[in-house]
Structure 1
Amino acid sequence: MQFLIYILVYPFLWIISILPFRLLYLVSDGLYILIFRIVGYRKKVVYDNLRLVFPNKSNDEIKRITKVFYHHLCDMIMESIKSMTISEAEMKKRFTFTNVELIKEIENQNKSIILMCAHYGSWEWIFILQTYIKSRGNAVYKRLANKYFDKLVKRIRAKYNSYLITTKETIPTLVELKKQGVLSINGFASDQSPRLDKAYYWNKFMGINVPVHTGAEMLAKRLDMAVVFFGVKKIKRGYYETTFKTITLNPLKYKDYEITDIFLKLVEEQIYEAPEYYLWTHKRWKHRDKKPIN
């Protein structure tokens, strides 16, 4: 059944991927009408999240942010499909880096990198970074249920020496790369909510007390990796600009969870500046007020 679904859906994805961007965004506009105005995909979740973290914003402002967010979400979906056939030159034109030399400087110190980011702006095209640097790229992800689509996504990423690894594969993969002396840059989207039974640390995010992922910090300390944050700014439709910020080159000098706290503050700065580009459909604050009493 998985293969049947794949062979039925794949041709449509491929056709969408070869559309010129002008037509691609027309499809995105149609998708916006479908998922926002007709289906109402997770609309309540989005409204509830925005009202929770922005209690002082008016209803009109919340509605404005919501509409812009759904337009952006649809663009992101189309852009991820476009990744199937987009050329390297086109992607470099549309996803640029203001200070890629920061990554190169860390590489020159023979250090691997934990690259922390949020589900903000665009993270679909970050793998083009591999064409500028020498480190092997790894991104931690959740395996897709359909194994054929899972292989497709991995194949797209591998075009530029970038690989997807599951949470279970992360530690053994990074340990082995370190043993082999292979420099790696490892992407972690650490802003979403961990499972409650895996919640070891709680802190405020956007003013709300929630459990926080700490795996990136733990690995940085265990393997002595530099920790770098990348923030994304949407310049205009289909164009993004990424800026790197070093959190630390020496993670062992930081107290437990201090690196994680710095990361969260950087994410908050992005959201406060332009909240419409955060992934509001996720139930990021679902575990608030559930912290166990010790």
Structure 2
Amino acid sequence: MQRLAYILAYPVIWFISILPFPVLYLLSDMVYVLVYYVIGYRKKTVRKNFRLALPHLTPQEMHVLEKRFYHHFCDNFLEMIKTLSITDKEINERFVFTNFDVIEELEREGKSVSLLIGHYASYEWLLVMHTRLEGYKGYGIYKPIKNKYFDHLVKKMRSRFNAELLSVKEVIPNMRQNNREGQKGFYGFITDQSPLKKSAVHWGNFFGMEVPIQIGGEMLSKKLGLNMAYAKVEKIKRGYYQCTFVKIEGDLKKIPNYDITDGFMRMLEEQILKEPAYYLWTHKRFKHRRN
């Protein structure tokens, strides 16, 4: 059944991927109508997240924000599919780096690097940075898809940007193996995802709520001697994004535990408050709260 679903879906996915951008966004507008008005995909979750994180907004403002979010959400989904066939020229025009010299500086230091990332703007196209790494292998940490055929497709998309996907269980063995072999790695950690409550080690403040925070990027970097940076991704206009890197300075082991991760979450919160439509409100980020 999994294979049949893939066989039926793949031609549609490939056709979407080869559409020129004006047509792609026209299709996105139609998908928006289906997702928002007909299916109502995760509307309850989105609205609950708005009430929790953005209580200062009026009901009318939340309604406007909700529509803007779903437009961006559909754009993001189709942009991810576009990754299958996007040209180097197109991706480099549409996703730019304001200070890639920070990454080049980290490479010259000769250590592997972990990059803290949020579900904001275009975290998918951020992978294009791996095409510019010199002597480093790029890795993205992800949750495998149950359908092995679609899981392979997702890996194929990301591999176009020289990025290898690792499941959570594969990260530590991969880091240790790379350390033994002298291979430098660049690891991207999605840090704003909610961990399981039973495995939560650190609870931090996010939008005035005490919630469990993912700390894997910080703690593994300290344990294995990696450098660290934040990726601040912003949406400039429809289909265009930019990324600014923020290097974590100093000896990481001397920085109190969780301060680095908490700092990233504060920076992400500031971005969201400035332009909340570009955050991924469909995931249950606040399902575990202490207060």
TM-score (norm 2): 0.97
- Render the CA deviation track for 1:209-256: whole Å, top value 9, x for unaligned: 111111111111011111100111111111001110012353111111
* 1:89 paired residue number: 89
* 2:258 paired residue number: 257
Write out aligned runs for 1:71-86 (5 A): 71-86=71-86
Aligned sequence identity (%): 46
Query: Separation in 1 of the partners of 2:214 and 2:14?
Result: 35
Identify which range, 131-140 or 79-88, moves more after superposition: 131-140
Tell whether the 8 Å contact from 1:100 to 1:132 is kept in structure 2 after alignment: no
* 1:189 paired residue number: 190
User: Which letter does structure 1 place at the counterpart of 2:163?
Assistant: S
* 2:25 paired residue number: 25
Q: List gaps (5 residues or longer) in structure 1.
A: none
Query: Separation in 1 of the partners of 2:48 and 2:188?
Result: 29
Matched, 1:100 2:103: no
Q: List gaps (5 residues or longer) in structure 2.
A: none
User: Which letter does structure 2 place at the counterpart of 1:197?
Assistant: K
Helix, strand or coil for the counterpart of 1:248? coil
Query: Separation in 2 of the partners of 1:125 and 1:245?
Result: 18
Write out aligned runs for 1:110-259 (5 A): 110-134=110-134, 135-259=136-260
- Render the CA deviation track for 1:239-285: whole Å, top value 9, x for unaligned: 00111001235311111111111111111111111111010011110
Identify which range, 247-256 or 157-166, moves more after superposition: 247-256
- Render the CA deviation track for 1:29-48: whole Å, top value 9, x for unaligned: 01110111111111111111
Query: Separation in 1 of the partners of 2:163 and 2:38?
Result: 37
User: Which letter does structure 1 place at the counterpart of 2:146?
Assistant: A
Q: Give the CA deviation at 1:152.
A: 1.5
Question: How many pairs were matched up?
Answer: 290
Matched, 1:43 2:43: yes
Q: CA RMSD in A?
A: 1.1
Q: Give the CA deviation at 1:153.
A: 1.4
Identify which range, 162-171 or 39-48, moves more after superposition: 39-48
User: Which letter does structure 1 place at the counterpart of 2:84?
Assistant: M
Query: Separation in 2 of the partners of 1:92 and 1:68?
Result: 25
**Structure 1 residues 103, 249: closer, same or farther in 2, change over 3 A?**
farther
Tell whether the 8 Å contact from 1:247 to 1:262 is kept in structure 2 after alignment: no
TM-score (norm 1): 0.96
Regions of 4+ moved over 3 Å: none
User: Which letter does structure 1 place at the counterpart of 2:279?
Assistant: Y
